[in-house]
Amino acid sequence: MEDKNQKKGKPIKRRDFLKGFGGGAMGAAVAPKFLVQEKKTISTKEGNIPVYSKKKISLIVNGKKHTLSVKPRDTLLDVLREKLNLTGPKRICNHGECGGCTVLLDAQPVYSCMFLAVRADGQKITTVEGLAKGGNLHSIQKAFIEKDGYQCGFCTSGFIMSSLALLQRNKKPNLEEIKQAFSGNLCRCGNYFKIYDAVSEAAKKMRGA
């Protein structure tokens, strides 16, 4: 699972990962202060340690700041979908296998189903809902419509977010680079061939060509 996020975004080191987790034996050494402490403790080999149930975090989602209290186990995907009502990111596998939940963390695409919300504290997140500006669709969105880069549309926000990440770092990707950018996205309807077209078209639009 770490590999997947690594490929698509900032490498997550195991140590960081553990730090992000409050509660449980793993968190014992680094029990973060910002967690809301419950009265309960659990006993471990290292003695009694407190159990933390919630943490206050702030997320800057599509340019808007939200302050939320989340459980350590809550994934970024669930927080976006359930608490912020952003239904663009989809839960297709919930295990880092499909890319349906892809969002951008700063400029990096990440699987939000594999990303604990507490780790995103204070960071900028872009979902597919944040692309259109003032009623104008983003070039990528326009290109997906023009080239029919979808069928059922369930994988589409993931593909659009991966496209955005690609086109932000590569203005003129070739076919191999496009395929590579989607190595973490599955489309069961199988519309890859049309999606390649959509991305090339989007690149053209974004270059103003």
Choice between 40 and 188, CB closer to ligand FES? 188
Q: Which does 145 bind (CB under 5 to 8 A by kind): another protein, ligand FES, none?
A: another protein
Cα–Cα dist 82/169, whole Å: 31
Beta carbons within 8 Å of 158's beta carbon, 6+ residues apart: 89, 90, 92, 98, 99, 100, 101, 102, 185
Q: Determine which residue in the list 94, 108, 123, 200 makes contact with ligand FES, applying CB under 6 A.
A: 94
Q: Which does 85 bind (CB under 5 to 8 A by kind): ligand FES, another protein, none?
A: another protein
Cα–Cα dist 28/186, whole Å: 38
Phi, psi of 57 (to 5 degrees): -130, 165
Strand (E) positions, the chain?
35-44, 47-61, 64-70, 102-105, 108-111, 124-126
Question: Over the Cα atoms of the chain, what is R_g?
Answer: 19
The contact pattern for another protein, residues 26-65, with x = CB under 8 A and - = no contact, is: ----------------------------------------
Which chain residues interact with another protein by CB under 8 A? 73, 81-82, 85-95, 97-98, 100, 127-129, 131-132, 137, 140-141, 144-146, 148, 150-157, 160, 178-179, 182-183, 185-196
Which chain residues interact with ligand FES by CB under 6 A? 91-94, 96-101, 111, 113, 150-156, 187-189, 191
